[in-house]
Amino acid sequence: MNSFIFCNPTRIYFGEGAIKNLAKEMEKCGKNVLLAYGKGTIKKEGIYDGIVDILKSCGKNVIEFSGVMPNPTAAKVREGIALCRDGKIAFILAVGGGSVIDCCKAVAVGSRLDGDFWEELYTKRIAAHEAIPLGTVLTMTGTGSEMNSTAVITNEELKFKASFSSEAAAPKFSILDPTYTYSLPKYQMVSGICDIMSHLMEQYFSGTDDNVSDDLNEALMRSIVKNARTAVKNPKDYAARSNIMWGATVALNGILGCGKTQDWEVHQIEHQIAVYYDVAHGMGLAAITPSYLRFICRNGLDKLKRFAVNVWNVDAEGKTDEQTALEGIDRLEAFFKEIGATVSLRELGINDKSKFSEIAESCNIRTGGYRILTPEDIKKILNDSF
């Protein structure tokens, strides 16, 4: 096990009706609250009205920051920073999924910087220690952003999607009500599930030592698979949606990365696909993960065999390690198909390979789990995923 530092102070309020905890959290913060959300889905379901009522009853002055898009852009972050500065914002409440939360993390930290947030956080990569306090109400599950300190932002001009981490950006609290996810379209639910699986695999597929974090990781992968199968059949199965929602949080709150080297190459490739094409993050991950794993199979053979046996219950009897490993990857791909994920770039709406070279060149991969990919490698994976 590698040495590590772990600290995650986000307070979680979990369960049906957990929104009732918002009022006591609002007592701790100042008057001017930035209420951030996406394209207004929360207005259809009464979530918006309920939150605004609580904020008003707590005497808050609410400034709206709406229209945060999937794969949030640097321009949108700058818009939020301007609102915070003009409105002397004391607290940011992000209502939505990972895109809204990530955007708000960059706004929260960026508002306290003298220079431009992208330049400071993503180019110079300074260590930021201050932020406007942030809380979240989660309405889409998958990213884990509700309980970590990382934010992924797309710079449209530079054609680059990148992440920064700062403990100051971690939410002070997150409210997780599984019933808030019931009305999510199936496509988005499935995309979230693929994202969770990818987060788990990105932490798992690295290293050779026997690590308790990997034991826990396998259990969570099996749990997500089991609960996803239930949830796609019955989206209002409270137990399944609860297990997926909390599982998604645990999958990326740092606990499963403790003592581990990690991979994250699939995420880096998907991020660049999303810069060039309008794709749902989780679906992009599902489309390239099987090809990626087949490509690195011989480099990470022991772990891929273990993955096949422990997560997918492949019987290794009478098979070579590679056959076992490949059967595990086949079962992962079959699971993605079964729950309705897109398992090829073509299915994602990418109709030709014209930008594959540019995407591959732009990935800027420097670290990885079992094999550090070159642009040529990435191009092969993109072709295999087509």
Which lies closer to its own copies via its Cβ, residue 238 or residue 361?
238
Q: Give the shortest CB-250-to-its own copies separation in angstroms.
A: 7
With a CB cutoff of 8 Å and minimum separation 6, the contacts of 236 are 182
255 binds its own copies (CB under 8 A): yes
Q: Within 10 Å of residue 4's Cβ, how many Cβ atoms?
A: 11
1 binds its own copies per the rule CB under 8 A: yes
Helix (H) or strand (E) holding 173: strand 173-176
Question: Nearest to residue 220, comparing CAs of 188, 253, 187, 196?
Answer: 196
Smallest distance from its own copies to CB 25, Å: 11
Whether residue 193 contacts residue 285, with contact meaning beta carbons closer than 8 Å, is answered with no
Q: CB 7 → its own copies: shortest distance, Å?
A: 4
CA geometry: angle at 36 spanning 30 and 37, to 5°? 155
| Distance, C-alpha 7 to centroid of its chain | 19
Work out whether 24 is an interface residue with its own copies (CB under 8 A): no
Q: Which residue number, 216 or 309, has a Cβ lying nearer to its own copies?
A: 216
Applying CB under 8 A, among 8, 123, 313, 351 the residue interacting with its own copies is 8
Selected binder of its own copies within 117, 246, 292, 336 (CB under 8 A): 246
Report helix, strand or coil for 133: coil
Among 139, 150, 227, 362, binds its own copies (CB under 8 A): 227
Residue 201, interface with its own copies (CB under 8 A)? no
Pick the closer one to its own copies by CB: 52 or 219: 219
**Which residues make Cβ contacts (< 8 Å) with residue 256, sequence separation at least 6?**
200, 203, 213, 216, 217, 220, 250
CA–CA gap between residue 262 and residue 302 (Å, rounded): 16
Q: Smallest gap, in angstroms, from Cβ of residue 91 to its own copies? A: 18
92 binds its own copies (CB under 8 A): no
Residue closer to its own copies (CB basis): 1 or 82: 1
Q: Is 239 in the site for its own copies (CB under 8 A)?
A: yes
Establish if 315 lies at the interface with its own copies (CB under 8 A): no
Determine if 261 is a binding residue for its own copies (CB under 8 A): no
Taking the complex as a whole, the smallest distance from the CB of residue 43 to its own copies amounts, in Å, to: 25
Q: Is 242 in the site for its own copies (CB under 8 A)?
A: yes
Least distance CB 129 / its own copies (angstroms): 13
Closer to its own copies by Cβ: residue 7 or 124? 7
- Alpha-carbon span 111 to 81, nearest angstrom: 5
For position 6 contacting its own copies by CB under 8 A, the verdict is: yes
- 223 sits near its own copies (criterion: CB under 8 A): yes
13 contacts its own copies (rule: CB under 8 A): yes
Q: Is 218 in the site for its own copies (CB under 8 A)?
A: yes
| Using rule CB under 8 A, residue 5 touches its own copies | yes
Can residue 18 be called a binding residue for its own copies (CB under 8 A)? yes
> 17 to each of 55, 58, 283, 348, how far by Cα in Å?
16, 18, 30, 36
Beta-carbon contacts of residue 224 (< 8 Å; ≥ 6 apart): 193, 196, 197, 200, 243, 244, 247, 251
Q: Among residues 14, 182, 187, 276, which is the contact residue for its own copies, using CB under 8 A? A: 14
Contact flags string 152-191 toward its own copies, x per CB under 8 A? --------------------------x-------------
Q: Which one of 15, 50, 235, 340 is in contact with its own copies (CB under 8 A)?
A: 15
Cα gap 224→242, rounded to integer Å: 11
Measure the CA–CA gap between 312 and 325, rounded to whole angstroms: 10
Cα distances (Å, whole numbers) of residue 378 to 136, 265, 275, 333, 356: 35, 10, 15, 19, 9
CA-based end-to-end distance of the chain: 37
Residues in contact with its own copies by the rule CB under 8 A: 1-18, 21, 178, 209-213, 215-216, 218-220, 222-223, 226-227, 238-239, 242-243, 246-247, 250, 255, 258-259
